[in-house]
Amino acid sequence: MPRIARLYSLLLLISKFSLPLSAALPELSSIEPLEFDEAAQRLVARGDARLDFQGSRLNADRITYYQEYSLADALGNVAISRDGYRLIADQLSYDTQESVFAVDILRTGQWPIYIAGLTAGGTTENTTVQGATIYYGNPGRFTPNVSSDQIDFTSEQGGKLTMSATTFRIGNLPVAKLPSYTHYIDQTPLLLEVDAGSDSELGTYLQTTTLFPVNSWLRAGANLDLYSKRGVLVGPTAQYSYNSESQTITGALSTGYLNDQGDPEPGLYDQPIDSERGFVEWRHQHHIGERINITASASYWSDSEVTRDFRDDYFSDNQQPDSFVEAVYAGDNYFLSAFGRFRPNDFQLVQERLPEVRFDLLPVPIFNTGAYQRFSASYAHLEENFGQVIPEIDQASQSDRFDFTYRIERPILLTDWLTLTPLAGARITHYENQEIDPLALGRYNDPYGTPTPSELKDDQFTREIYELGFDLEARAYAHYATQNKMWEINGLRHLVRPVLRYRYYSDPNAKDEIAAIDRTAFDLDRPMLDLSDLRNVDSISETHLTRLGVENLFQTRAEGYGSRTLAALNFYQDILFEKNTRYDGNMQDSFNATWIELVLSPAPWLKFDLASRFQTQSMSLEELRTRTSIRSGEIWEIGLSTVFLHDRIDQYRIDFIYRINERYSLLADTRYDAETGEFTSTEIGINTRLNNAWEIIYGLTFRQDSSRESDFEFTVRLRLANQ
């Protein structure tokens, strides 16, 4: 949004002084005495002439102002300044009555957009620039720019540029031409990313991604990579963004295909990798009116390692690709949705929904009783194929599942600071057409031991689970007249909320009855408590627990308006009356886990996050995640991260940026594994700017015992700044 506002202001700068000029007489001055022609009602200023009017200033060699016609003419070294913006021209004329202006040989801009033109004229709402060039960055030999014989600007739809024959250039080098082009101010017209380097796995390589405008809503280009040891990767790319009064569509496509000339190591589950390799990544969002949203994501990979080998930035963000499409209709107090999850990749184990149709009624009052009810109903056809993961399992799992949930709750205000909410609910799930391999069912029944093959008792089954519980919440706060200039604290408010939550789910008694596809996933976050919210529908077990918690929030007044959060500290304790199996195969304790969560942000230059979990009875640390970041203005920034999981993970990371000056920065990122006692990855680099339009990063990467990447890599990355 700041870039949108800057460019919009630049195009309006020529006429910005129209309103104040009409509202009050200007102040005209110069080195030489002013000349006044009474008959013509004309004032003439020569020699560093200056016209000041309500925050705007016009400088020129000569300024002539016609009082009768409210017309100003400026000639020679014309410069207009207002609100930090500046326009330079050879000549300017302005009619304050008609709000019409004209300038010759103009130059204006504010980072990162600069405009040059032979002539310009028009009004605030409509401006035409002849012989125009728009630069992305300071004009120079390597600056991306767009040139056109004529550019028409209109303020509609947030600002729109309509260009005749358009040439996209880098410096003076043409890279693309269009017969016409319409550009909306909130879009970046050009994208170019170049990565070059060398390592032992890929050889010397060059990776490029380009996007050029095709029309006002579409940019298209290509991924084109060259690898001396592996071959050529190529594939089309596109981005689209369409807006109208009734709908909004945005999306992106990135693809690549390679005939791999190397000898890649096997992929996930030791699957061999074929020489024909490629990927397709597509993301899409569609909003229709205020009620309909459609979201789609598709990731096709020829093998589990194709993006890791050739596009590691994709792999870092998405190591387990998910392909789905969802359409949601938002009613006044309900949601109606259709969701499909697919398995385009053979190397993945995916719980497919083909599809799932769902209705959710949001909490609504029950007459005037003070109670609220909510309801959901869904149908899903589920499929799962273990065959690619566990060869012994040769039969795919499937089921048709009908799932219904209902819940009623009644908040009771015991005092003005204490609320009790009793609740009750039920979940009825019916299964049809169930199929599952006996060995897969055995694995579900005994996930941490040696699976014993089991048979489903029937291909259909109805399960009933009932929920009882309550929430007891207290609220309190205090204000303190604390002042601290260093931390910018202007008063202190402490909010505290003790909570007690009790839940009981009845025993499903569903052993050997369900082809479990939606199972419990490995997740160390605090478990969900509400029966209707659980997503492990096929593996819900009897639950009986109490959760105690204390939530604290510390705030101060924000500069200008509102409040700013300084710290948040939360404690939670689960007490189990019914024990289940832990993630490591051991039985849970009665005092199952203690969670401590802390967030500190007392100043813009300091932030600390902590999430931890303790085994309560032994008070041993089970899990710890922290992140600390410290900034010294715009000079340097350092971050420290830790990840600890008992007997599994113990890793540390330090990342550092030091800005030498406006052009150069030093970068460092190192990771240490305490389990192996080795620095697994260290990256060092230099970030520099070329002509303030391009960002170039030179980097060295050192790795230790990486499964696929080389131990040493040199890279050079080139991309447009601020894109």
Calculate the dihedral angle through the C-alpha atoms of 17, 19, 24, 25, rounding to the nearest 10 degrees. Answer: 40
Nearest to 602 by CA among 630, 633, 642, 641: 630
> How confident is the model at residue 448, as a pLDDT?
58
110-134 per-position pLDDT tens digit: 666 788 889 888 775 678 888 988 8
Helix/strand/coil for 300:
strand
Q: Is 561 exposed, middle or buried (0-12, 13-18, 19+ CB in 10 A)?
A: exposed
Answer for the pair 708, 151: CB distance below 8 angstroms, yes or no.
no
Answer for the pair 539, 519: CB distance below 8 angstroms, yes or no.
yes
pLDDT-flagged residues of the chain (< 50): 1-24
Answer for the pair 225, 207: CB distance below 8 angstroms, yes or no.
yes
Instruction: Characterize 442-471 residue by residue with b for buried, 16 or more Cβ atoms within 10 angstroms of its Cβ, and e for exposed.
Output: bbbeeeeeebeebebeeeebebebebebbb
Q: What tokens were used for 500?
A: 């007690």
- Residue whose token pair is 């009619």: 95
User: Residue 183 contacts by C-beta under 8 Å, 6 or more apart in sequence?
Assistant: 146, 160, 161, 163, 189, 213, 216
> How confident is the model at residue 159, as a pLDDT?
67
Helix/strand/coil for 10:
helix
In the chain, the N- to C-terminal Cα span, in Å, equals 12
Q: Is 367 exposed, middle or buried (0-12, 13-18, 19+ CB in 10 A)?
A: exposed
- Residue whose token pair is 């080139």: 718
Q: CATH for 2-184? A: 2.60.450.10
Q: What tokens were used for 685?
A: 């680099």
> How confident is the model at residue 188, as a pLDDT?
63
Task: Count the alpha carbons within 13 Å of 385 in the hemisphere toward its beta carbon.
Answer: 10
User: Residue 559 contacts by C-beta under 8 Å, 6 or more apart in sequence?
Assistant: 488
DSSP string for 185-205: TTS---EEEEEEEEETTTEEE
Q: How far apart are CA 467 and CA 652, in angstroms?
A: 42
Q: Is 148 exposed, middle or buried (0-12, 13-18, 19+ CB in 10 A)?
A: buried
Q: How far apart are CA 461 and CA 509, in angstroms?
A: 11
Q: How far apart are CA 466 and CA 544, in angstroms?
A: 12
Instruction: Characterize 482-493 residue by residue with b for buried, 16 or more Cβ atoms within 10 angstroms of its Cβ, and e for exposed.
Output: eeeeeebbbebb
Beta bridge partners of 653: 641, 671
Nearest to 153 by CA among 182, 124, 127, 186: 127
Nearest to 543 by CA among 592, 512, 503: 503
Length of the chain: 723
> How confident is the model at residue 525, as a pLDDT?
78
Answer for the pair 299, 311: CB distance below 8 angstroms, yes or no.
no
> How confident is the model at residue 186, as a pLDDT?
59
> How confident is the model at residue 511, as a pLDDT?
81
Answer for the pair 536, 587: CB distance below 8 angstroms, yes or no.
no
> How confident is the model at residue 155, as a pLDDT?
67
Q: How far apart are CA 158 and CA 348, in angstroms?
A: 45
Q: How far apart are CA 302 and CA 315, in angstroms?
A: 14
DSSP string for 393-428: --S-EEEEEEEEEEEEE--EEEETTEEEEEEEEEEE
> How confident is the model at residue 9, as a pLDDT?
43
Model pTM score: 0.80
